[in-house]
């Protein structure tokens, strides 16, 4: 009986050693990834390098009554989620700031179906990345001294960039391939809705 017990112990130790050897080194080296709920995970949830996202901005006219100032919504959607350096969606990201009632509640899980009301100009953020760095984003609209309207989407992840920064001009690792508006006119000025999209990249 004692000999049988020793043989079983040797078998289990050998199996455990083989399993440990089969695990990739990166999986065993990285335990915590910035999310306390994953502190005991054996594998990092995402791969670093150059992360990316596809963003879609929609502007919709909702007020153009005679005698009143035209108003429009501006909404942002990350249609494919936030992708890691290997092109896979980073899981378990969460909203890190609380915004108006139209936007998700602070602390809830981020999803590709979420629509952000950005016309207010509030700075918004998504967390859950390594080292507790936030992905920040903010929309600007302004008039020049001739009354011309302008707008710009800005992002920040360790450094700040905007949608008009091209790869060749990227000074801190953030840049975008920005598409044009499908309609040149502003909403309520001859069109009810217009859209433009972009692919953006950042070091992560």
**Residues 198 and 135 placed together within one structural domain of the fold:** yes
* Global pTM exceeds 0.85: no
**Residues 114 and 198 placed together within one structural domain of the fold:** yes
Given a contact cutoff of 8 angstroms between Cβ atoms, the answer to whether 159 and 173 are in contact is: yes
**Residues 23 and 59 placed together within one structural domain of the fold:** no
**Residues 61 and 15 placed together within one structural domain of the fold:** no
> C-alpha angle 192/77/178, rounded to 5°?
80
* pLDDT number for residue 176: 97
* pLDDT number for residue 115: 81
**Residues 82 and 170 placed together within one structural domain of the fold:** yes
* pLDDT number for residue 104: 55
**Residues 23 and 56 placed together within one structural domain of the fold:** no
Q: Give how far Cα 119 sits from Cα of 1, 31, 75, 113, Å.
A: 76, 39, 7, 18
Which residue range(s) make up the domain with 12?
Answer: 2-32
**Residues 137 and 100 placed together within one structural domain of the fold:** yes
* pLDDT number for residue 35: 41
Looking at the structure of the chain, the number of domains it has is: 2
Encode pLDDT of 118-139 as tens digits.
876 778 888 888 767 899 999 9
Q: Which residue is it, tokens 């008009």?
A: 164
Distance CA 103, CA 116 (A): 6
* pLDDT number for residue 92: 86
Provide CB contacts within 8 A for 124, sequence distance 6+.
95, 97, 99, 103, 116, 118, 136, 137, 138
* pLDDT number for residue 107: 60
**Residues 12 and 84 placed together within one structural domain of the fold:** no
Q: Which residue is it, tokens 């000025």?
A: 189
38 found inside a domain: no
pLDDT beneath 70, residues of the chain:
1-44, 64-68, 97-108, 120, 131
44 found inside a domain: no
**Residues 19 and 58 placed together within one structural domain of the fold:** no
**Residues 96 and 182 placed together within one structural domain of the fold:** yes
């Amino acid at each position: 009986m004692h000999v049988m017990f020793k043989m079983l112990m040797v078998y289990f130790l050998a199996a455990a050693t083989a399993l440990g050897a089969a695990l990739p080194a990166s999986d065993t080296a990285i335990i915590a990834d910035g999310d306390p709920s994953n502190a005991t995970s054996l594998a990092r949830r995402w791969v670093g390098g150059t992360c990316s996202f596809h963003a879609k901005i929609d502007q919709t006219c909702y007020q153009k009554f005679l005698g009143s100032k035209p108003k429009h919504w501006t909404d942002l959607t990350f249609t494919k989620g936030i992708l890691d350096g290997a092109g896979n969606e980073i899981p378990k990201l969460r909203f890190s700031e609380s915004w108006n009632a139209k936007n998700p509640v602070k602390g809830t899980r981020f999803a590709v179906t979420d629509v952000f009301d950005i016309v207010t100009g509030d700075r918004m953020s998504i967390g859950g990345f390594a080292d507790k760095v936030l992905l920040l984003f903010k929309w600007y609209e302004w008039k020049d001294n001739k009354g011309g309207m302008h707008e710009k989407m800005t992002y920040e992840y360790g450094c700040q960039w905007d949608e008009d920064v091209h790869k060749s001009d990227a000074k801190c690792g953030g840049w975008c391939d920005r598409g044009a508006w499908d309609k040149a006119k502003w909403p309520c000025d001859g069109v009810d809705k217009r859209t433009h999209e972009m692919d953006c990249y950042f070091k992560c």
